[in-house]
Amino acid sequence: MDAAPEPRRRSSPADHAPPGANPADRADHRTGTADRTGDRADHRTGDGTADPSDDLTGVLTAVGPRLRALRKARGVTLAQLGESTGISVSTLSRLEAGQRKPTLELLLPLARAHRVALDELVGAPATGDPRVHAKPFTRYGQTFVPLTRRLDGLAAYKQILPGNASGATPDLEQRVHEGYDWIYVLAGRLRLLLGDHDLILTPGQAAEFDTRTPHVYVAAGPEPVELLTLFGPQGERIHVRAKPKDR
């Protein structure tokens, strides 16, 4: 099967008809006239109430564009997402295009990969609870605690760096990537290598810098370091070595 064209970014559920929908189904069954809005027909059950299956169809139709928007916001390719979830590239492509029905078996690993709640992934109605229920994860030996829900804008994290008990400075290879970082030290002593600068930050001190400048930061002593970090979607992208390693 030829790959379907990718849906427009930030398209709304109303822009996409359910897969396999018959144009005749768009007719208004109450008047017999065509629905000029192009939306689905106003189906009614025997007691005059809306058919619940209509709502379910709308929710499922919106999942594909939402998955694509999340992946694009993180700067992740289908191949990279496939590696982290174990889902084939063809299945991911069909999900985003609305050609594959989203199931829990597929949505659960995708929610973990995008670090969003499952109800957010399927666009469930808001509960009115403004609290962020953080789900910590570990990457590069560091612990990250998300402090924001969404990834399509500015993201905030509490970051915990392990202490350096040996006092040595192993592999402090600086990295570069698109974006801008802001960090604020909560506890411990942080060593920040930024270009030619070698700095120590203590609790209450902050730093901000263009991440295209080679940089790396680690604990400056045996105690772990806790800090707040802010960055945009570019901060989720793969970091590139500032200088190639000698072979």
Residue 117 shares a structural domain with residue 22: yes
Q: Above pLDDT 90, what percent of the chain?
A: 20
Query: Which domain CATH number covers 211?
Result: 2.60.120.10
Residue 151 shares a structural domain with residue 94: no
Tell me what the mean pLDDT of segment 96-111 comes to: 87
**Alpha-carbon gap, residue 9 to 140, rounded angstroms:** 31
Name the average pLDDT for the chain: 71
Tell me what the mean pLDDT of segment 75-89 comes to: 90
Last residue of a domain, one of 59, 92, 121: 121
Residue 106 shares a structural domain with residue 205: no
pTM tops 0.85, yes or no: no
Q: Is residue 94 one of the residues assigned to a domain?
A: yes
Burial of 59 per CB tally in 10 Å (0-12, 13-18, 19+):
middle
Residue 24 shares a structural domain with residue 104: yes
Residue 17 shares a structural domain with residue 110: yes
Q: Is residue 2 one of the residues assigned to a domain?
A: no
Return the structure tokens found at 37: 């809005």
CA Rg value for the chain = 23
Q: Is residue 113 one of the residues assigned to a domain?
A: yes
Residue 162 shares a structural domain with residue 77: no
Tell me what the mean pLDDT of segment 153-169 comes to: 77
Residue 21 shares a structural domain with residue 117: yes
Residue 215: alpha-carbon gap to chain centroid? 24
Question: Residue 107: CB partners within 8 Å, gap ≥ 6?
Answer: 63, 118, 121, 122
How many domains does the chain contain in total?
A: 2
85: containing domain: 13-121
Last residue of a domain, one of 121, 153, 183: 121
- pLDDT digit string, tens, across residues 169-201: 556 778 887 778 889 999 999 999 998 899 999
Angle, in degrees to the nearest 10, between helices 52-74 and 89-97: 120
Residue 116 shares a structural domain with residue 18: yes
Last residue of a domain, one of 121, 148, 178: 121
Residue 97 shares a structural domain with residue 143: no
